[in-house]
Amino acid sequence: MIVEDHCLFNLFSTTTRFLIHSAYYLVILYSFRNLCVDGNSEDCGH
């Protein structure tokens, strides 16, 4: 039972790290997109 809990905890930690990194990059991309839209959309290339 201890081994299973440890594996589950490792899986949870890995998933949490992945979600945190994904959210971090999404926020950065979203911020850049907003800066782009707030500025000149013609210079953005979208």
- Tens digit of pLDDT at every position of the chain (46 positions): 555 677 788 888 999 999 999 999 999 999 988 887 766 555 555 5
pLDDT on residue 11: 85
Structural domain count, the chain: 1
Q: Has residue 7 been placed in a domain?
A: yes
pLDDT on residue 27: 94
Q: Has residue 36 been placed in a domain?
A: no
Are 46 and 36 in contact by the 8 Å Cβ rule? The answer is: yes
**Cα dihedral 5/7/9/15 (nearest 10):** -150
**Phi, psi dihedrals of residue 4, rounded to the nearest 5°:** -65, -40
25-28-43 Cα angle (round to 5): 130
pLDDT on residue 5: 75
Q: Has residue 18 been placed in a domain?
A: yes
Q: Has residue 43 been placed in a domain?
A: no
Q: Has residue 21 been placed in a domain?
A: yes
Q: Has residue 9 been placed in a domain?
A: yes
pTM: 0.49
CA-to-CA separations, 45 to 11, 20, 41, in angstroms, rounded: 40, 29, 7
Which structural domain, as residue segments, surrounds residue 17? 1-31
